[in-house]
Chain A
Amino acid sequence: MTQGLAEAQVTARVTESMLENGLKILLLEEHKASVVTVHIWYRVGARNEQPGTTGLSHLLEHMMFKGTSKVGPGQFSRTIRKNGGRDNAFTSEDYTGYFETFASDRIDLALKLEADRMRNLLLDPKEIEAEKKVVMEERRLRTEDDPVSALREAMGAAAFQAHPYRQPVIGWMTDIERLAREDLARYYDTYYVPNNAVLVAVGDFKSDELLPKIRHHFGPIPRGAQPPSVRAVEPEQRGERRLFLRKEAELPFVFMGYHVPNLKHPDNFALEVLAYILSGGKSARIYKSLVYEKQLALFAGGGYDRESIDPNLFPLYASVMPGKTAEEVEQALTAEIELVKNEPIPDRELQKAKNQIEAGFLFGQDSVFNLARQLAEYEIVADWRAWEAYLPGIRAVTAADLQRVAKAYLTPDHRTVAVLIPEKIKK
């Protein structure tokens, strides 16, 4: 029903170029407000790390704010802020991204600062030691003292055996503690090169005026050696894996993750629609059944890690209601999967999922930040043009496709089930 609304895809307005040193540049003019966001993403994340040095990508991300030969520690963010801007960074399994957003007349500042730190990072040993402590606090905050997050980490570590997606992005605590300056320096030299980066700018600028500025700042940076590729391939899972995590908590929690293909496989569109059928909103099957009707779960849902360089997981989760058990919740989640396999999805329900996806596609274009994020992510995990294929692919999904992919991928043999067993909180 919403077909036609998003016909004029935003990707049609993107201009792509590449500098001689291999820096990929994507520019999208968006003139609704005089604001601009500049993103630089490097093709490096937890998937590039080795056992024993997990957390390297993320620690290096922190160190990118700790000084170059020109810009002192802490001065990067300070400079952006006093110019009315915001900046931050993030690390995932597949990439490390940096951004600045502010009034469009300040765009040169972002380019200058980002070009500087692509090249001239100091990696002062004293700053490294202080920042390692900060990251260890971050890990305590996000993982150690958060039972659900700890469970998600444990599930990932069990679901993947050969592929580095098993490693937490923030790294294992013992690894963070031991990361050394030479690890960071080698990593920086290997991956922070223009031919391993993509620059995305979205907002109120003229592309033909911006491109020479980008060339001015980044052009002189020499191309680096091609970084090594990740060769690990996760073997097919043949039999369910199951783990339990005991931790101080009030309510049990169930996480399950099925191995599925990613956006590079034609089945990705059907899996995406299936994710909406199961967990897109309060009328979706999992919420309606587990939370509303059966009152087994305080909240429940799922998703699909579709935008991922290598095949990832299709996770489902539920927080168990007091008085109910993890077994009951797990059975109810599994029953919803089986139902999809055994009974065709009614037309209206299929149309609802597609409508949600199309509307969400438009809502997601409301902020320049989000547009830049989407472009950069697609470019890193596949190619930014893969974004163009999204809506047409979704529209073509049939009820039969949903049944087929559910049968093919969402089988017990392909899944890892992680259960949080609460230990009493002392009070």
Chain B
Amino acid sequence: MTSARRRYRWVLSFSLSVLLLLPVFVAAAPLAERQVLENGLTLLVRSSRALPIVTITVTVQAGSLWEPEERAGLANLTALLLTRSTTTRTAAQIDEAVDFIGASLSSSADRDLSELHLTMLRKDIPKGLELLADVLLHPTFEQGEIARKVQELRAALRKRQEDPGEVAQEVFDGLVFGGHPYGRPLEGSEATLTTITRDDIVGFHRNHYTPERTFITVVGDVGRGEITDQIRALLGSWPKGKGAVARATAPTPLQEKIIVKKVDRSVAQANIVLGHQGIRRDNPDFYALTVMNYILGGGGFSSRLVERIREQKGWAYDVNSQFSPGLERGSFQVALQTKNESAGPAVQEVVRELKRIREQGVTDQELVDAKAHLTGSFPLRLDTNAKLAGLISAVEYYKLGLDYADRYRTLIEGVGKEDILRVARTYLRPEGYVLVVVADQAKAALPE
């Protein structure tokens, strides 16, 4: 149930889109070997000797859930600034060192966590690890670099307004989650960005970037013993934090009513997002919802929404539904784009499909096909080192267990038709949702 807003057949006009895909993971072995160092830092290592390359992901409990509302953007800004100067290196020196070995090093924040990613050749591991430890432990958050990044983020926020899909998503999140971190852009806003001080950033880093709140995932051409020794040498003396830190908890539930927000733009296509709050990742109904959502709108050309709105009506290039579960309740949403004139009818079809699956559930054939795809395609989620690292990190972060690949099949196989009906009735709310339509409203003529 990850986000993949635009799929299907694509035109290659300029550069090749980066593609997803697969090798098989042979189950019955843990996804990685796990070890906790003395200071609480967790290591997860998976050897893969096919190519002389290594991918390392550092995951920190430091997403926007941990930032105060009036400092919205703090987690993101802190993450982005890690690689922009350390006690011994300028930003330009970091960039040059990374590029010289043909590696890539990036940092980013999300709602639930922040991450550093490093990909390099096996022979460059010592150099790469040293850089990684430096930016993780010794960033200096120079005033000039802060100003530069803030300026970039403000420009990026402006540029995003050019994309009607992004505008629709932003308005939708705001209405579904209000002031909760899940409801605002990770970058914060023009207003909050100007109030964030260097002290805020230094404090956020000190309080949240600590070994017991961090784990490191290593996938690639390396043995567990050698990489553990090297990481211990660099990060073993990283001192623990001072104790618990607060974060935002559950978002305020939405009222059971329909909220329609129209945004007027002179665009060729209406961008539509419809939905409401969803579930937490630890909800045991996650697997039944995965199957239900695959049939509804998560299964590409096998889904009911695509069949109805794209294949039968020709109204949209892309229509999909997804749950986005996190540490807290994420959203459930259906997104589609269609020419202004068909916005109204398309929304009606979406609501009709939500009601239909709640009232009638799914057929035996749909259930069998969905389960066959979800279990049969699991290996395709483990294609590259980067994808393996991503899955292992998610498994660790959301406490899914390193035997997840084995259990996933059982969990999906165990879903029955009555489960689908139950979760559809519990988690789909066609009587109370948020509908956002970014369109040329004069042409769209949506019903009130």
Which residues of chain A have a CB within 8 Å of any CB of chain B? 2, 5, 32-35, 37, 58, 61-62, 65, 73-74, 77-78, 81-86, 88-93, 101-104, 129-138, 140-142, 144-148, 152-153, 168-170, 203-204, 248-251, 280-284, 288, 291-292, 295, 298, 303, 319, 321-322, 348, 351-352, 355-360, 362-363, 365-370, 373, 425-426
Max chain A Cβ within 10 angstroms of own Cβ: one of B9, B14, B302, B307: B9
List, sorted by A's number, 11 A–B pairs whose CB atoms are closer than 8 Å.
A5-B121, A34-B23, A83-B376, A103-B24, A140-B339, A251-B155, A288-B92, A288-B95, A298-B156, A362-B52, A366-B384
B83 to chain A, nearest CB (A): 9
- A-B CB proximity, top 4 nearest: A84-B376, A33-B23, A359-B102, A133-B314
Residues of B within 8 Å of A132, CB to CB, are 314
B407 to chain A, nearest CB (A): 18
* A82 and B369 within 8 A (CB): yes
Complex Cα distance, B13 from A78, in Å, reads 27
Residues of A within 8 Å of B21, CB to CB, are 37, 86, 101, 367-369
Question: Which of B159, B373, B379, B382 contacts A319, CB < 8 Å?
Answer: B159
* B100 and A321 within 8 A (CB): no
B120 to chain A, nearest CB (A): 8
Question: Which of A35, A134, A152, A352 contacts B23, CB < 8 Å?
Answer: A35
Question: Which of A65, A142, A250 contacts B158, CB < 8 Å?
Answer: A250
Complex Cα distance, B424 from A19, in Å, reads 52
Q: Is B82 an interface residue (CB 8 A)?
A: no
* B380 and A102 within 8 A (CB): yes
Complex Cα distance, B383 from A209, in Å, reads 24
Q: Is B317 an interface residue (CB 8 A)?
A: yes
Complex Cα distance, B92 from A48, in Å, reads 46
Complex Cα distance, B16 from A91, in Å, reads 10
Complex Cα distance, B310 from A133, in Å, reads 9
Complex Cα distance, B91 from A90, in Å, reads 39
* B119 and A74 within 8 A (CB): no
Q: A2-B121, A84-B375, A142-B11 are in contact. List 16 more A-B contacts (CB 8 A).
A: A81-B373, A84-B373, A84-B377, A88-B8, A92-B12, A138-B317, A141-B337, A145-B163, A145-B267, A251-B162, A319-B155, A359-B101, A367-B23, A369-B383, A425-B161, A426-B266
* A141 and B6 within 8 A (CB): yes
* B99 and A356 within 8 A (CB): yes
Question: Which of B100, B159, B315, B375 contacts A298, CB < 8 Å?
Answer: B159
A365 to chain B, nearest CB (A): 6
B169 to chain A, nearest CB (A): 14
* A34 and B269 within 8 A (CB): no
* B314 and A251 within 8 A (CB): no
* B299 and A101 within 8 A (CB): no
Residues of B within 8 Å of A203, CB to CB, are 23
Question: Which of A298, A355, A356 contacts B152, CB < 8 Å?
Answer: A298
* A146 and B163 within 8 A (CB): yes
* A366 and B380 within 8 A (CB): no
Complex Cα distance, B23 from A103, in Å, reads 8
User: How many of chain B's residues have a CB under 8 angstroms from any CB in A?
Assistant: 90
Instruction: Return the chain A residue nearest B49 by Cβ.
Output: A32
Question: Which of A73, A104, A373, A426 contacts B19, CB < 8 Å?
Answer: A373
B358 to chain A, nearest CB (A): 24
- Within B334-356, the residues touching A (CB, 8 Å) are 337-339
- Within B287-322, the residues touching A (CB, 8 Å) are 299-302, 307, 310-318
* B148 and A91 within 8 A (CB): no
B134 to chain A, nearest CB (A): 16
Residues of B within 8 Å of A86, CB to CB, are 20-22, 377, 380
Residues of A within 8 Å of B51, CB to CB, are 362, 365-366
Residues of A within 8 Å of B162, CB to CB, are 146-148, 248-251, 425
Complex Cα distance, B267 from A144, in Å, reads 8
Residues of B within 8 Å of A58, CB to CB, are 11
* B377 and A85 within 8 A (CB): yes
Residues of A within 8 Å of B339, CB to CB, are 136-137, 140
Complex Cα distance, B369 from A357, in Å, reads 43
Residues of A within 8 Å of B368, CB to CB, are 82
* B380 and A137 within 8 A (CB): no
Residues of A within 8 Å of B121, CB to CB, are 2, 5, 359, 362
* A93 and B300 within 8 A (CB): no
A11 to chain B, nearest CB (A): 15
Q: Knowing A34-B24, A35-B24, A356-B102, say if A102 contacts B377 (CB, 8 Å).
A: yes
* A32 and B50 within 8 A (CB): yes
* A81 and B337 within 8 A (CB): no
Residues of A within 8 Å of B310, CB to CB, are 134
Question: Which of B99, B301, B383 contacts A78, CB < 8 Å?
Answer: B301
Question: Which of B9, B102, B369 contacts A62, CB < 8 Å?
Answer: B9
Question: Which of B91, B148, B268 contacts A140, CB < 8 Å?
Answer: B268
Q: Is B254 an interface residue (CB 8 A)?
A: no
Complex Cα distance, B141 from A25, in Å, reads 55
Q: Knowing A142-B11, A170-B13, A365-B51, say if A134 contacts B316 (CB, 8 Å).
A: yes
Instruction: Return the chain B residue nearest A131 by Cβ.
Output: B314
Question: Which of B24, B95, B119, B156 contacts A281, CB < 8 Å?
Answer: B95
